[in-house]
Amino acid sequence: MYIFGKTKWIGGTVKSLLVIFILLFIGDYALNQIQRIEDKTDMFSSLQAWNLYQEKSRFSYIFDLVPYDFFCGVLLIFVHLQVLFAGTLLDIFIITVSLSLAGKVEVVGKRMQKISASKVVSDKVWIHIREGYNCLEILCRYVNSKVGYAIIISFIGNLGLLLIQLFNSLHVKNLYQGTYLYYAFFFLLTKIVAVCIFGSRINEESKKLLKYLYSSQNCIRNVEIDRLIAQITRDTMALSGTNFFYLRRNIVLKIAGSIVTYELVVIAFAESFLNEGKVINRTSTL
């Protein structure tokens, strides 16, 4: 396993993405709270106004069933914030796992490129390379078995919220709500694209190996090279959502097409409700 080595760029990339996602999340949460407040001037002027906001606007679906309590409201705010932030952390987790595995494949690729350039013919060297790739493939399958459901949850959550925000943007009531809806759409779209692009790095790095192997095959006759080419061509090294889909570059275009299709369907079915003014803003219950 020493063939894998270390990749220093992963830590800096993950930290940068974490900071960016946290800042975007803070902006999304702040705008969400602002657009909920009907009276922007008197909202924080008294405890009574705060309690009224919590009971009648923020968590009305809970306090319609149980009596309102100030400490219960504070606890609900904390829990609600943790649940929302957990979705962002889940995306960061998927990106981190993908970059870590992609870094290992990149190390194998650099070693393979060096050996190919040196025109090494030794069977032992190429067997060592193939065994290293086998270990990475086994590791990728194991990781897929553990994070597959997390990937499914991430995509369902982000795509579902994205469709809701697009639908709500059709009947914006004021400037505050419009600002939040478009910002939330941008935030969700950023998370989806980031997960797709960074999540596909494993598959992209594994495809690069074929380029080195084909160049070696032209000047080196080795059965291990042929075996490795057949293995990489046959097997798919990529993160997947429990084998329903694989994280590849083309998944971005597929998601874009799905969003347009589903949004057109939603608009068609909701047109009568929009005309009658009976649509309820679902964002207030999220």
CA angle at 224 for the pair 222 and 226, rounded to the nearest 5°: 80
pLDDT top residue among 74 and 146? 146
How high does pLDDT run on average in the chain? Answer: 81
* 155 token code pair: 């995509």
CA distances from 231 to 19, 137, 148 (A): 38, 10, 23
CA angle at 11 for the pair 10 and 16, rounded to the nearest 5°: 100
pLDDT tens digits, 85-121: 998 999 999 999 999 999 889 888 888 888 877 777 7
Tell whether the model's pLDDT for residue 257 goes beyond 80.
yes
Q: Is the CB of residue 251 less than 8 Å from the CB of residue 110?
A: no
What per-residue string of b and e applies to 271-284 under the rule 16 or more CB within 10 Å gives b? eeeeeeeeeebebe
Tell whether the model's pLDDT for residue 3 goes beyond 80.
no
User: What is the number of helices (H) and of strands (E) in the chain?
Assistant: 9, 0
Tell whether the model's pLDDT for residue 195 goes beyond 90.
yes
Burial of 176 (0-12, 13-18, 19+ CB in 10 A): middle
Tell whether the model's pLDDT for residue 210 goes beyond 90.
no
Tell whether the model's pLDDT for residue 190 goes beyond 90.
yes
pLDDT at 283 (0 to 100): 45
Residue bearing tokens 């697009």: 166
Average pLDDT over residues 191-218: 87
Q: Is the CB of residue 136 less than 8 Å from the CB of residue 203?
A: no
**Domain extents for the chain?**
2-285
Could you tell me which residues are beta bridge partners of residue 246?
Answer: 240
- For residue 112, what are the contacts with CB-CB under 8 A and spacing of at least 6? 129, 209, 212, 213
pLDDT at 155 (0 to 100): 93
- pTM metric for this prediction: 0.82
First CA to last CA distance, the chain: 46
CA angle at 25 for the pair 19 and 30, rounded to the nearest 5°: 130
Q: Is the CB of residue 212 less than 8 Å from the CB of residue 133?
A: no
* CA–CA distance, 90 with 94 (Å, rounded to integer): 6
Positions of E strands within 148-226: none
* 8 token code pair: 């220093």
Residue 46 binned pLDDT confidence (cut-offs 50, 70, 90): low
* 131 token code pair: 């065994």
pLDDT tens digits, 263-284: 787 777 766 655 555 444 444 4
Residue 45, helix vs strand vs coil: coil
